[in-house]
Amino acid sequence: MEKRLGKKGLVRSLATRDVKLEATLTDSGGSPLAGKTISFKYRASGETTWTDAGTGTTDSSGKASVTVSLAAPGTYDFRAEFAGDDEYEPSSDEKDNVTIKAKTVLTLTVTPQ
C-alpha cells in the first residue's frame, strides 16, 4: 500500500490494483496483424501527461497486452498505439474515464447457536 497526503494533510492509504491492458490490431479488412509492437499508456483522468505502461507484441490473433499496477480507487484514461511500419499506417485507440475500484474481501462466519 502507498500512503499519500489527503485533504487537510491527513495520511490515507491507497491500495494498488493490477490492470491488464489488451489491444487488438487488424488490417482494414479485419484480419489480425501478428508480430507488431503496441505501446500502452495511462494517466489519471483530467491529467495531461501520459505514463508509459510498456509495450507488447501482437500474437496470431492480433492481440498484445501489458499489466500495470494502479492506485485504486481511481479514474484513468488508457491508450494503445501502433506506430506504423513499412506496410501499415499508424493507429491508436483510447478509453477515457475508466473507474478502477479497490478490491474487497467478504468473510462469512457461521456460528451454530
pLDDT-derived band at 15 (thresholds 50, 70, 90) equals: confident
Note the pLDDT tens digit of each residue in 21-35.
999 999 999 999 999
Number of H helices, E strands in the chain: 0, 7
Domain ranges of the chain: 2-7+15-100
pTM for this model (two decimals): 0.82
Question: Cell match 508480430: residue?
Answer: 35
Note the pLDDT tens digit of each residue in 52-101.
999 999 999 999 999 999 988 999 999 999 999 999 999 999 999 999 99
Q: Quick one: pLDDT at residue 34?
A: 98
Q: What is the CATH number of domain 2-7+15-100?
A: 2.60.40.10
List, as one string, the DSSP characters of 54-103. EEEE--TTSEEEEEEEEEESEEEEEEEEE---SSS--EEEEEEEEEEPPP
